[in-house]
Chain A
Amino acid sequence: MSICLEISEKLQKGRSKDVSALVTQALEEGVSPQTILSEGLIAGMSIVGEKFQRNEVFVPEVLVAARAMNAGLAILRPLMASAGIKPLGKAVICTVAGDMHDIGKNLVKMMIEGQGIECIDLGVDVTPEAVVAAVIEHGAQIVCLSALLTTTMSGQKDVVDALVAAGIRDQVKVMVGGAPVNQQYADEIGADCYTLDAASAAQAAKAFFEGN
């Protein structure tokens, strides 16, 4: 078994310490950071995402796998930066104003990062102005907006409106999700994409960056 495959398998089982050790070992054996990232970490997280969509694994397995991925990434990040390896793209993610709930948002963030996309997490209760500022500052191409409550989902529309007002709506793809959100609502507020779950969101983001 190749060491990257081993990393992928340990990641799928949520074994953070094993992933860290194997990433370090792979680097010592001369495997490039890019290869470890794509064939080990991202490959493993993609499998977790697919299994999540098929109800073969559930939220706990995604969370421990994402934690294992982060353990591996922590070792690779400095090396990737110095080697000039860039992420697939950049996404700004947050829970909208008035809403403090972040479980769904964090799951989406983990899954998107698992596709090799840099995720700028603005946290919870984030104003439209803060989202616009972050998009400009980081040059993000995707905005992911989470809302748990029927009382706060209108905050997603406020962000879309703010992006229009700032003249940058055409520069970003707006993805929305959360318990009360559906495709009809996404269409009504002018969002580009609605997905039911975190794995689908990550797939949609990846497809966007790959031009599909």
Chain B
Amino acid sequence: MMTNRERALRLLHYQPVDRLPAVHFGYWRELLFEWAEQGKISMEIATKASDGNAYDQELDKLLGWDFCWTCITGARMGLFPAFTPEVLEVLADGTERRRNRDGLIERFKPGVVSIPSEDGYTLHTREDFETLYRPKMQFSADRLPSSNVIEALKNGQKPDRPWGLNVGSVLGDIRSMLSVIGLSYLMYDEDETLLADIVDTYADMQYECVKAMLETGISFDFAHYWEDICYNSGALLSPDIFDELCAKHYKKRNDLCRQWGIDIISLDCDGVTRQLLPTWFDNGVNTMFPIEIGTWGDQFEAARNKFGQGMLGVGGMDKTAFLKDKKAVDAEIERMKRLASLGGFIPCPDHRLMPGSSFELVQYYTEEIKKISL
């Protein structure tokens, strides 16, 4: 019998497997509370489960999942030290304006569970960058996990899953610091070199983080980026500008990974990604994730047809089937079977499972997907 790690790696190398692994991408917290209220899981799991921790692994067992794709390991890749979160203002209706760890100002309304509203940002000018941000974008050894953790990861027993290295984000993190509006204004208001300077500074720091992690001797099976720079109509910014700003950084980081034997490089980007796929693929990213077909209509087959067998995928299962019925789940299982049979593809729900998802349908999906051998 193969391990989950073997199954995943063999699938992404076009090799047969004894069965498909049941892979997931986590949950909205509200869903876990729903399941707790329904008596399906404990409130402790609902409150404390987080990608890959002990509670999450317990939840995996209850639902039948083998592992979560985004359980990855890496250095502290963001602003370091981060901004200290603070409440800037409380409005009359109780809405709080808060500055988060990235310097982004958001509005939170009591009782509303939602992605917060972006309401401002801290990086407006070159001076802001030089004084507030550049110092937080420098590499230092204390960005790495402690030596105890590194030793444990090198020598200890790892959970049975492919081991992923966090290789950061070239532009997505910067968009998170600035907001979409801030990023847009920065591109047009400041001197034309500022955004490129920010991207280069941040990317150089992340490259050093990746290099240092690889040099620890921990063995990694794949590298994983987070970007989220697309939406329902495509890229948030011009693909040409994106390519000009980012391509060289992907290439440099991905070349480094390949030097260390990592040939699976996945990238998490929500939305319709097709406009940016050429930049990613041409510069070494070869695995689409999570391929949001349910919400956004993103497609794996189109990418495979365009880029060939070098384009791999993890995701693509319409998670909204879990809101419906067994018939809808069966249809997705059939579609996943067909996509997996192409090779180089691992089925996985196309984003975090949302409130309203049926616990029993998820269990049914994991049982059935694990019956498929290729």
Contact = CB atoms under 8 A, between A and B. Distances in A.
Query: Is the interface on chain A under 10, 10 to 19, 20 to 34, or 35 or more residues?
Result: 20 to 34
Nearest to A64: B188
A100 B109 contact: yes
B3 interface: no
A1 to B, nearest CB: 22
B53 interface: no
Nearest to B183: A60
Interface string B176-197: 0000110111011000000000
Interface in A27-67: 55, 57-61, 63-64, 67
B188 A196 contact: no
B188 A60 contact: yes
Interface centre among A64, A100, A151 (most CB of B within 10 A): A100
Interface centre among B181, B187, B188 (most CB of A within 10 A): B188
B374 interface: no
Given A100-B107, A179-B295, A59 B180 contact: yes
Contacts of B42: none
Contact of B115 (A63, A64, A100): A100
Tell me the dominant secondary structure on chain B's binding face.
mixed
A58 B236 CA distance: 7
Nearest to B271: A179
A151 B296 contact: no
A60 B117 CA distance: 18
Contacts of A99: 112, 114
B180 A103 contact: yes
Given A124-B117, A150-B295, A150-B320, A100 B181 contact: no
Contacts of B116: 100
A67 B189 CA distance: 12
B115 A149 contact: yes
Nearest to B28: A151
B58 interface: no
B57 to A, nearest CB: 26
Interface in B214-271: 231-238
Nearest to B233: A197
Interface residues of B, number: 35
Contacts of A151: 28, 30, 113, 354-356
A139 B184 CA distance: 34
A101 interface: yes
A58 B237 contact: yes
A57 B240 CA distance: 11
Given A60-B187, A100-B115, A101-B117, A180 B295 contact: yes
Nearest to A65: B188
Contact of A64 (B108, B184, B232, B323): B184
A190 B249 CA distance: 48
A60 B107 CA distance: 22
Interface string B93-137: 000000000000001110011111110000000000000000000
Nearest to A148: B115
Interface string B41-81: 00000000000000000000000000000000000000000
Given A100-B107, A103-B180, A150-B354, A59 B237 contact: yes
Interface in B162-217: 180-181, 183-185, 187-188
Contacts of B117: 100-102, 124
Given A64-B188, A125-B109, A179-B295, A196 B115 contact: no
A55 B237 CA distance: 10
Interface centre among A149, A150, A197 (most CB of B within 10 A): A150
A67 B185 CA distance: 10
B235 A58 contact: yes
B363 interface: no
Interface centre among A59, A67, A98, A103 (most CB of B within 10 A): A59
Interface centre among A14, A60, A149, A197 (most CB of B within 10 A): A60
A69 to B, nearest CB: 14
Nearest to B184: A60
Nearest to A198: B233
B299 interface: no
B275 interface: yes
Nearest to A177: B232
A203 interface: no
B295 A100 contact: no
Given A64-B184, A100-B117, A125 B233 contact: no
Given A60-B188, A63-B180, 12 more contacts: A60-B183, A61-B238, A98-B114, A99-B114, A100-B117, A101-B115, A101-B117, A102-B117, A124-B107, A148-B114, A149-B114, A150-B320
25 contacts: A55-B275, A57-B238, A58-B235, A60-B236, A60-B238, A63-B181, A63-B185, A67-B185, A100-B107, A100-B108, A100-B117, A103-B118, A103-B180, A104-B231, A125-B112, A150-B295, A150-B320, A150-B323, A151-B355, A151-B356, A179-B232, A179-B295, A196-B232, A197-B232, A197-B233
Interface of B: 28, 30, 107-109, 112-118, 180-181, 183-185, 187-188, 231-238, 275, 295-296, 320, 323, 354-356
Interface of A: 14, 55, 57-61, 63-64, 67, 98-104, 106, 124-125, 148-152, 179-180, 196-197
